[in-house]
């Protein structure tokens, strides 16, 4: 399977704990995106990377959130001091942006469902 | 924040019927995309229409775009039970090189066998 993968698929944590999620994009895709989706809503953009560079961050991404893509391949999203409001599905997507070979379609992973108790 | 809204929020139809859902958005766009999401899973890309296109087809899917009204519609013909899912429209920002997507609130489609 060469699609986008995310780990873990589910995470239950207590309020105040730190959590880290991982996303492995499609191998030739140079762009990687993080979205958050709460129940009954569409995904909301959090941040994205072009290779290892983080190009944009949403104001939804408070200082408790940090994302990295150190080698331009996989990415991690860390949430420190989790709060109950952080409970959501965290989705990762990737796309190819390379001039004429650019594809605007984003390919999503299955998501990591976070529950903060 | 959500860019737009899908209408209706929920739709139930008999298998074999056509399903139409609409999307409205607020700002200028480069492209508009439709995605499907099965319960509790990731999103699957269905179709993309660029801002200079008015209609596009892909299999049983037909998408229209009216940039003057800032609206789009997705038609699924000859619906099947497997089409049961939530459908989201997503708009791409107008600036070249910025492909972050802004999603609508979704339409929950149920196909009754």
Average pLDDT over residues A6-12: 97
- pLDDT at residue A102 is higher than 80: no
- Of the residues B26, B39, B43, the best mutation for testing chain A's interface (the one with the most A CB atoms within 10 Å of its CB) is B43
Beta carbons of B42 and A108 less than 8 Å apart: yes
Give the number of other Cβ atoms within 10 Å of residue B106's Cβ. 26
The answer to whether A91 and A34 have CB atoms below 8 angstroms apart is yes
Residue of A nearest to B101 (CA): A45
* Tokens coding A42: 């569409």
pLDDT at A112 over 60: yes
Q: Which helix H or strand E contains A103, and what residues bound it?
A: strand A103-108
Which tens digit of pLDDT belongs to each residue from A14-45?
999 999 999 999 998 999 999 999 988 999 99
Give the pLDDT band of residue B2 (cuts 50, 70, 90). low
Cα–Cα distance between B44 and B41 in angstroms, integer? 9
- CB-CB under 8 Å, B31 with A41: no
Cβ contacts from A onto B, under 8 A: 63
Model pLDDT, residue B42 = 83
Burial of A45 from C-beta contacts in 10 A (0-12 / 13-18 / 19+): buried
């Amino acid at each position: 399977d060469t699609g986008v993968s995310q780990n873990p698929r589910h995470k239950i944590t207590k309020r105040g704990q730190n959590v880290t999620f991982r996303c492995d994009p499609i191998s030739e895709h140079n762009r990687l995106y993080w979205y958050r989706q709460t129940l009954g809503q569409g995904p909301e953009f959090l941040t994205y990377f072009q290779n290892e560079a983080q190009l944009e961050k949403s104001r939804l991404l408070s200082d408790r959130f940090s994302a990295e893509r150190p080698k331009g391949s996989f990415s991690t999203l860390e949430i420190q001091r989790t709060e109950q409001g952080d409970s959501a599905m965290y989705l990762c997507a990737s796309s190819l942006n390379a001039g004429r070979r650019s594809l605007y379609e984003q390919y999503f992973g299955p998501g990591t469902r976070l529950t903060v108790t | 924040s959500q860019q737009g809204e899908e209408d209706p929020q929920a739709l139930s139809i008999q298998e074999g019927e056509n399903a139409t859902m609409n999307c409205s958005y607020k700002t200028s766009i480069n492209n508009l995309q439709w995605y499907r999401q099965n319960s509790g899973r990731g999103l699957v890309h269905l179709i993309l229409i660029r801002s200079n296109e008015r209609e596009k087809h892909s299999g049983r899917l037909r998408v229209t775009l009216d940039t003057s009204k800032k609206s789009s519609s997705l038609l699924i013909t000859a619906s099947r039970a497997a089409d049961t899912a939530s459908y989201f429209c997503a708009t791409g920002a107008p600036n070249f090189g910025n492909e972050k997507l802004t999603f609508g609130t979704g339409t929950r489609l149920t196909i009754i066998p």
